[in-house]
Structure 1
Amino acid sequence: MQHESQKIRSTRAITLRTLLLLFTGALVLVLLVVSMVISGRSFHNYVIEELEGQTRDAATAIGLSLSNAIDATDTVAVSSLIDSVFDSSQYLVVEFVDHDGNVVAGRAQALSDLDVPHWFVRFADLPRPEGTAAVMKGWRWLGQVRVVGHPGNAYRDLWQVGQWLVLSSVVIGAIAIAVLYVLLGRLLRPLRAVERQAEAIGHRDFRKRTQIRSTRELNQVTHAMNQMTDDLEQLFAGQAALIAHLRKLNNEDPLTGLSSRNAFDQRLTVEAVTEEGRRPGSLLLTQVSGFADFNQRAGRLEADAMLVQLARCVHRFVDGHAGSFAGRRSGAEFAVFIPGGAPADAQIWGRELVEALQAVCVEFAGEGSNALVELVVHGGVAGTGEGVSVRALFESADTALRRAQTEGVSQCALADSGADVHHGAEDWRRLLESALDREALWLWEQPMMAVDDDTVLFRQVFSRLLVEREWVRGHLFAPMAERFGLIGRLDLLVVQRALQRLREEPSAMVGLSLGASSVVLPDIPERILQMVKSAGGDARRLWIGIPEQALHYHRQEAQAFIRQLRRTGASLLVDRFGVGGIAFSYMKNLSIQALRIDSSFVHGIDRHDDNRFYLESMITIAHGRGVKVYAAGVETESEWRTLKTIGIDGATGYHLGRPEPVGDPPVSGGSG
């Protein structure tokens, strides 16, 4: 809120360019007005002087004429002279007065028809100058001539000059302002670029640089800003690299890049055992018999090279099974958890992996009589079940592995662990397609709680599908929906229902998570975008989670999708953060508002110092970029208390609030 209020105040503040334009424009205006007033006043005085001089000259000329050239006692001659002078229309009064004050001859007219506005006449207020001259005959005084000047021409001249002064001042002022506007624009371009750069830094985007050159002072500012941006980017890159390194040390096997033993067990506990995250699946253990002999005969470097190739096979297997994850146990023993399908399906997939691993072993050690040592790959599969612990799950898979080893040949055995029997892969395809065709989807929601334990930041929605008259949680069917390419249809239905909820409850804040492959499925991103755009202002109350796996496998498509979603006003977060196994530096290229830590990092964090240090460091970097950090899967008070101490912004979990249904089950699903 503080950041938003500062932003609002900054947008209301006057810009430097506007301030300079106002100041300089006002100065130019004042100078032009002063110049116009001085010029107008000077011309006004000049006109008055000309009018007075003309009047005096006329009176003198008439007086001389009557004194010398014309008999002043001849009334007709005097009248003719006065008429000829008066007809020039330059005088209001022309008359000859005798020594008794009687008008011998004269003409007069009123002041009218000036061809200028009346207000200008009142404003200019020109005088009516009067000139007199004596009429003499010899030494005898006969009278005097009286002439009053007509200011009409003076008014017209003054009006024309005034118009010209105003017009020229306006034109000059407009040109000056325009030139000043362009000049300031060119001079301040680096400053605007620096402003955008500073704004980008405020959003923790260190990619912008200012290359525009201007005055020496501004060039120094742009250079300093670029240098600071470079330093901040290097600092962030160093922090991100450190965090990535810490993550690898704590969670990855340094040789193969697979999850370490502890990290795999931690995630398996969350995925297969905990109440909130539990879902059906199968554990696959594989082991290369004879690896110790190969290591002794071929040498450590060759053995390590073979392990790297084996790990690549495991990586490819995981990539082909949505939601799966793998880890290295010890030596040439690997573990893979496959969520979703029945153990029988997992056994089929396990045989495929065992065959791929066997091919790598043959490539390195040879085959038959030419083999350096005999390397045989075996596998064991065990399914999860209600009340089955991680230890029991490993024991069942290990028993199946030992049984496969007794057969001698490379194969994958299935444990008889008494686990629940799940639907097979094809059964899941049929059931999911049927549920989606009927739109038999029911939304449940769980609160995202702030650290004050009272504020609900938003409500995370989850989907449940009606499968064989039972509402099944998303944990159960989502991996199979990903496998069969149905996750896009599921996401479209969830987005539709979530937006409907926002329309029905104007005060609601809703969050949803998309599938990892939805960003690349045909037409799915476009349809989701269109739905969110059509929501208008409701989109601002929507949080959309993009799984980190999507950024791992579909980096370009996911980034483009996120940029387009941001234009709709929706808030974006990276979901299941930490399990994607990608560099933390991707944050600098994404316009996201939050990260959500995967529950595998949260489970037992009060007892795991390595995970706590990793999350604390990551939260510091995220907050430094203005990104909030949420957590998922908080199940105990001690976990929640620990997360608070390391700076988390909010979390979901059974300890903070269990999922609750949104309304009654849909009618379309109830008929199923």
Structure 2
Amino acid sequence: MTLSRQLYILILSVSVMMGAGTWLISVDNTRTYLMLQMATQTQNTADSLGLSLVPHMKARDIAVMDTMINAVFDSGYYKSLSLKSMQGEVLIERENTSSIEDVPEWFINGLKLDSPQASSIITTGWTQSGTLNLEAHPGFAYKKLWDTSYAMLWWSLLVIIISFLVSFMALKAILKPLYAVEKQALAICDREFPVVTDIPKTRELKKMVEAMNMMTAKVQSFISMLTERAEKYREQAHYDEMTHLMNRNGFKAVVENCIKDQEHAGSGFVALIRLADFAAYNKKHGHQDGDNLIIEVARLIDSLCDSYHGSTAARIGGIDFAVLLPLADPDTTSAFGHELSCSLEGLSSNHQVEAIGHIGLASFHQNSSFGDILADADTALASAQSQGNNEYNILSSNNDAMGNQAWAALIKNALSHNNVRFIAQPVMDQNSNSIYSELLMRVIDDAGKEIRPGPFAAMAERLALNEKLDQFVIQRATTLLEHATDQNSILGVNISAASVKSSTFSTWLEKHLQTHNKAAARLLFEITEHGVLQSFGEANHFVDIAQANGARIVMEHFGTRLSSFQSLRQLKLDYIKLDGSFVRNIADNSDNRFFLQTVTDIAHGLDIQVIAEHVENVDDFHALQALGINAMQGYYFGEPQPIS
């Protein structure tokens, strides 16, 4: 029960008790007064009537005495009257048998009024001639007492109501700062840090509001400090200070993670870009212009990478740059090489030099090593140098890649004929209990061969078929949940970046979740960090729609972008899934352990659970447990299993 409600009940209770006490005291005082008044009036009437009857008593004029007595008794104030001689002879007797009208019986029974009696001795001279006995009738007193009690009751109720309303308004004004503080506390839990500007005049409340404002500022400052520290450390450890691209160590971790990602990657191309005659350019234009050229080339490469799904740019040496193109086929790689070559040619014209650099591209697969990939790319780069200025060359061993038309036919056929097989990989908590299962799709081609989800999803995005694919998977996941024997099972579904920023997809998703509201509460949507940062406003809208309908949100591949920590504070995420490049071999990497500890502390401070993906061995499992990671996923817990 809220404090305000408790205070209202207390005020109302006190008001009712005071009103009831005042009413009871007033009724009792009125009752006492009426009884005293009846007794006094009865005695006075007996005395005055007795004196009036003296001369007629002496003459024994019964008729006159009867008339005089009737005049008094017929007023209704008396219950009985008797006139007796001294010998006990009843001369005149009257009895009022009328009932008490307009007064409830329960009131009469609850408030007894005694009927006072009075007597008067009638004397004629020195002789006592008779006795007059008179008993009051309480009818008029009861009527007066009822009317007075009734009026006082209504006045008491009116006073109680007015007092309560005045108290309500006063308390509402007094407690207004408490409501503001309550909203402030809830906002902090919701990863917002508002400050209450309406400071109350009441000293205690003023101190409380000021203390809450100080706490809010300190919490915000602490989280900002952790965020800045984590970003600074990551930038120092994994990024080049001059270009802000990933450095060699960071690039190596990303490439190796891509190679070993058995579900979503495992193959692709790496581009090696080396500046041409940079020593001569540096000597001619100076070191500052040389540095500016490196920065300009870095921006050009990084900008070009935005158009290629999952690509990562890096500066791996003084004049060497590299780009990872996961799941890229030869056509995509050739398009990238041509586009980058043209951009370098344009930069050459701007700087009036013959060549800016050359590009060598080499493919890799799940058995490749980082050193071998760079060696192949360097071989391709040597060929490009012999071809001419700003040229590119591709060294590929991938001879079984399909073209765009074949991929489009395969995807459309899979969706229309349901040529898919679903498997699930669990996400486990620290006690190895399943939190949810990530739904993975295997596409079956015409030859009956299964295709891993990574290449399939990448081609769907390239061919603008992501929305249809995502809708298909969500519909199947919903059906699986609605027909599951375990009504507590939860499924995670991967959503492409294109679908996240699509308004038509968001509209469809909202209608779908509203139609299947029970299953919606058992769905998690995994969205990539890169997709969120590409279109933050649309991603925020997508998160709001999902959570409003009971679904939860996971940001996967967290940590691969420098600005991702700020998004934690703005998006209402339920989980973050750390990128595998930080997780692999974490037991032997103290730098990454420090970084993940900081990330975990920040996330927990924002009430976000942390998941580590690509957990492959027991040493990494125990290291992640020690860091306070909430959940883990990977082949250490077993391979993905078919889902029925």
Q: TM-score, normalising length from structure 2? A: 0.94
The offset of 1:202, in angstroms, is: 4.5
Instruction: Summarize the alignment of residues 451-490 of structure 1 with structure 2, pairs less than 5 Å apart.
Output: 451-452=430-431, 454-468=432-446, 469-490=448-469
Whether the 8 Å CA contact 1:351–1:379 is kept in 2: the answer is no
Whether the 8 Å CA contact 2:424–2:643 is kept in 1: the answer is yes
Instruction: Summarize the alignment of residues 556-567 of structure 1 with structure 2, pairs less than 5 Å apart.
Output: 556-567=537-548
* CA distance in structure 1 between the partners assigned to 2:406 and 2:508 by the alignment: 28
The offset of 1:254, in angstroms, is: 1.6
* CA distance in structure 2 between the partners assigned to 1:536 and 1:274 by the alignment: 34
Counterpart in the other structure of 1:662: 643
Counterpart in the other structure of 1:578: 559
State the one-letter code of the partner of 1:522: S
The offset of 1:72, in angstroms, is: 5.2
Instruction: Summarize the alignment of residues 315-326 of structure 1 with structure 2, pairs less than 5 Å apart.
Output: 315-326=302-313
Counterpart in the other structure of 1:224: 211
Change (3 A) 1:177 1:646: same
Counterpart in the other structure of 2:170: 183
Instruction: Summarize the alignment of residues 30-69 of structure 1 with structure 2, pairs less than 5 Å apart.
Output: 30-68=17-55
The offset of 1:598, in angstroms, is: 0.9
Which one of the candidate residues 50, 60, 66 is aligned to 1:79? 66
Whether the 8 Å CA contact 1:594–1:629 is kept in 2: the answer is yes
Deviations 1:192-222 (A, max 9, x none): 2223323443555434545342411101110
The offset of 1:34, in angstroms, is: 2.0
The offset of 1:281, in angstroms, is: 1.9
* CA distance in structure 1 between the partners assigned to 2:509 and 2:603 by the alignment: 27
Deviations 1:387-406 (A, max 9, x none): 33333332222222211211
Which one of the candidate residues 461, 473, 490 is aligned to 1:494? 473
Counterpart in the other structure of 1:384: 364
SS of the residue 1:330 aligns to = coil
Change (3 A) 1:603 1:376: same
* CA distance in structure 2 between the partners assigned to 1:254 and 1:361 by the alignment: 25
Instruction: Summarize the alignment of residues 211-250 of structure 1 with structure 2, pairs less than 5 Å apart.
Output: 211-250=198-237
Counterpart in the other structure of 1:630: 611
* CA distance in structure 2 between the partners assigned to 1:576 and 1:634 by the alignment: 14
The offset of 1:583, in angstroms, is: 4.1
SS of the residue 1:253 aligns to = coil
Counterpart in the other structure of 1:605: 586
Structure 2 residue 521 is matched with structure 1 residue 540? yes
Whether the 8 Å CA contact 1:435–1:466 is kept in 2: the answer is yes
Whether the 8 Å CA contact 1:66–1:72 is kept in 2: the answer is no
The offset of 1:553, in angstroms, is: 0.9
Structure 2 residue 13 is matched with structure 1 residue 29? no
Structure 2 residue 386 is matched with structure 1 residue 406? yes
* CA distance in structure 1 between the partners assigned to 2:418 and 2:161 by the alignment: 66
Structure 2 residue 623 is matched with structure 1 residue 642? yes
Whether the 8 Å CA contact 2:259–2:366 is kept in 1: the answer is no
Whether the 8 Å CA contact 2:263–2:453 is kept in 1: the answer is no
Deviations 1:336-355 (A, max 9, x none): 22233421331132111111
Bigger mean CA offset, 69-78 vs 490-499: 69-78
Change (3 A) 1:72 1:622: farther
* CA distance in structure 2 between the partners assigned to 1:113 and 1:154 by the alignment: 10
Whether the 8 Å CA contact 1:432–1:467 is kept in 2: the answer is no
Bigger mean CA offset, 531-540 vs 52-61: 531-540
Instruction: Summarize the alignment of residues 30-429 of structure 1 with structure 2, pairs less than 5 Å apart.
Output: 30-68=17-55, 73-202=60-189, 204-207=191-194, 209=196, 211-364=198-351, 366=352, 373-385=353-365, 387-415=367-395, 417-429=396-408
Structure 2 residue 501 is matched with structure 1 residue 520? yes
* CA distance in structure 2 between the partners assigned to 1:28 and 1:273 by the alignment: 75
State the one-letter code of the partner of 2:572: S
How high is the sequence identity, in percent, across the aligned residues?
29
The offset of 1:58, in angstroms, is: 1.7
Deviations 1:332-380 (A, max 9, x none): 432222233421331132111111122123212x1xxxxxx43243222
Whether the 8 Å CA contact 1:341–1:423 is kept in 2: the answer is no
Instruction: Summarize the alignment of residues 438-457 of structure 1 with structure 2, pairs less than 5 Å apart.
Output: 438-452=417-431, 454-457=432-435
State the one-letter code of the partner of 2:179: R
* CA distance in structure 1 between the partners assigned to 2:475 and 2:198 by the alignment: 46
Bigger mean CA offset, 474-483 vs 651-660: 474-483
SS of the residue 2:498 aligns to = coil
* CA distance in structure 2 between the partners assigned to 1:72 and 1:146 by the alignment: 20
Change (3 A) 1:62 1:350: same
State the one-letter code of the partner of 1:623: H
* CA distance in structure 2 between the partners assigned to 1:455 and 1:287 by the alignment: 49
The offset of 1:413, in angstroms, is: 1.7
Change (3 A) 1:307 1:426: farther
The offset of 1:45, in angstroms, is: 0.6
Bigger mean CA offset, 654-663 vs 203-212: 203-212
Q: Which runs of 5+ in 1 are unaligned?
A: 1-13, 367-372, 664-672
* CA distance in structure 2 between the partners assigned to 1:87 and 1:597 by the alignment: 103
Q: Report the number of matched residues.
A: 641
Deviations 1:399-437 (A, max 9, x none): 22211211223322222x433431223432333233234
Bigger mean CA offset, 48-57 vs 103-112: 103-112
* CA distance in structure 2 between the partners assigned to 1:348 and 1:587 by the alignment: 35
SS of the residue 1:147 aligns to = strand
The offset of 1:273, in angstroms, is: 4.5
Counterpart in the other structure of 1:11: none
SS of the residue 1:518 aligns to = helix
The offset of 1:240, in angstroms, is: 0.3
* CA distance in structure 1 between the partners assigned to 2:111 and 2:177 by the alignment: 50
* CA distance in structure 2 between the partners assigned to 1:15 and 1:343 by the alignment: 66
* CA distance in structure 2 between the partners assigned to 1:464 and 1:215 by the alignment: 66
Q: Which runs of 5+ in 2 are unaligned?
A: none
Change (3 A) 1:522 1:540: closer
* CA distance in structure 2 between the partners assigned to 1:78 and 1:549 by the alignment: 117
Counterpart in the other structure of 1:593: 574
